Amino acid sequence: MTNVAVVGGGAVGTTAAYDLARQGADVTLFERGELGSGSTGRAAGIAYDAFAEDVDARVADRAVERFREFSRQGEFEFRETPYVWLAREGDEKRASAIREQVPRMRDHGRDVELLDPDDLAAEWPALRTDDVAVAAVARDAGRVYPETYPPLLASKAERAGARVETNAAASVRTDPLGVEVDGEERAFDAVLVAAGAHTKRLLADAGVAVALKPYRVQALTTADGPDVPLTYDATGGFYLRPYGDGLLAGDGTEEVESDPDDWARDADDEFVAATREGIAARTGHDADVTDAWAGLCCATPDRDPLLGELRDGLFVASGFQGHGFMRSPALGEAVAAEMLGGDGIPEFDPTRFTGDEEFAIVEGMTVEE
């Protein structure tokens, strides 16, 4: 039986641990804090399958399918909510991109369609549409509370025989392969590093370079808000989603590398002010902000993740450009399959980079792909 360590108790790590355990692997998951306490707990909780590239569309489709399967187990619930993205008048670059993307998405079997401003207003009267040049809607989408997902998948993993160790800061060793926790070296046949923003440093300490850069994004919540779909205003560069009685809105990408141990966890005042203005412009609602925070995402040179085997027995799952949570049920499943001898996702093979690449951080949520 394969003896496997999973380092990282976020959405991808707990999914991988569950899929490994249910297929007979002897699994130990290590999380340096509490489950979901890193980037997963600060994610937006938006999920959709509207991707124009075939691999991304296939991964996202499987992720949404599994979110539905897991829904209403424990405290986790996937709430069906259409996803709308739009470009404003005068922004021909993004408007053209949306018009070009939708047919490609449909070619991959995605349930998406273009909407003119009148159709958009008729379906969602709370959205301002008089400045919209073009919009599209993906029907196969939904929203969740991300912090409820890792505990569910970890509990499923435990029921399948896995061990889950929280508040266990594991460092990675390559000779011999394993991890060190509290000064104790523990050998494993395979190690998966799915530690979010800490992945690059954990691997570097083990002498393995990867092409990853953590970067900061921001979000806020409001006390109340109008009835809107999942909405991405591509021209304004921000998103909205229903959140309890209010809204969750965000982006606020900082296109500079962040230190995963030393970064500002509260949102900037400038971000809060700009996002309130964006909410008012798109919905007419003067938002009363209840919370505002930052989280860390990870970028790669080509904006695709590093998912798979780096060297014998050492695997990585990171670099999701802000899409990690929404695709985690499929990504965790795929890397688990590769660890057990399957093909994984060849397009995401982490060895396509040396780790020495110079590259810029680019916003993850964009229509200019």
Report the mean per-residue pLDDT for the chain. 96
Number of CB atoms found within 10 A of residue 55's CB: 14
Tokens of 267: 């949102």
194 within 8 A of 263, measured Cβ to Cβ:
no
Domain 3-45+146-212+300-352 has CATH 3.50.50.60: yes
In angstroms, the CA 286 to CA 280 distance is: 6
The predicted structure's pLDDT at residue 1: 53
Q: Which positions of the chain have pLDDT values less than 50?
A: 369
Give me the amino acid identity at 199.
Answer: T
The predicted structure's pLDDT at residue 333: 98
Tokens of 106: 């449909």
137 within 8 A of 112, measured Cβ to Cβ:
yes
Tokens of 128: 């301002």
Place of tokens 């998406």: 112
Buried b (16+ CB within 10 A) or exposed e, 64-79: bebbeebeeeeebebe
Asked whether the whole model's pTM tops 0.75, one would answer yes
Domain 3-45+146-212+300-352 shares a fold with domain 82-140+213-298: no
Written as one string, the DSSP assignment of 215-250 is EEEEEEEES------EEEETTTTEEEEEETTEEEEE
The predicted structure's pLDDT at residue 368: 54
In angstroms, the CA 150 to CA 9 distance is: 7
Helices 149-159/324-339 angle, 10° precision: 20
Per-residue pLDDT tens for 182-226? 999 999 999 999 999 999 999 999 999 999 999 999 999 999 999
Q: Per-domain residue ranges for the chain?
A: 3-45+146-212+300-352, 82-140+213-298
What is the percent of the chain where pLDDT is above 90?
Answer: 96
Per-residue pLDDT tens for 64-99? 999 999 999 999 999 999 999 999 999 999 999 999
Domain 82-140+213-298 has CATH 1.20.1250.40: no
In angstroms, the CA 22 to CA 152 distance is: 14
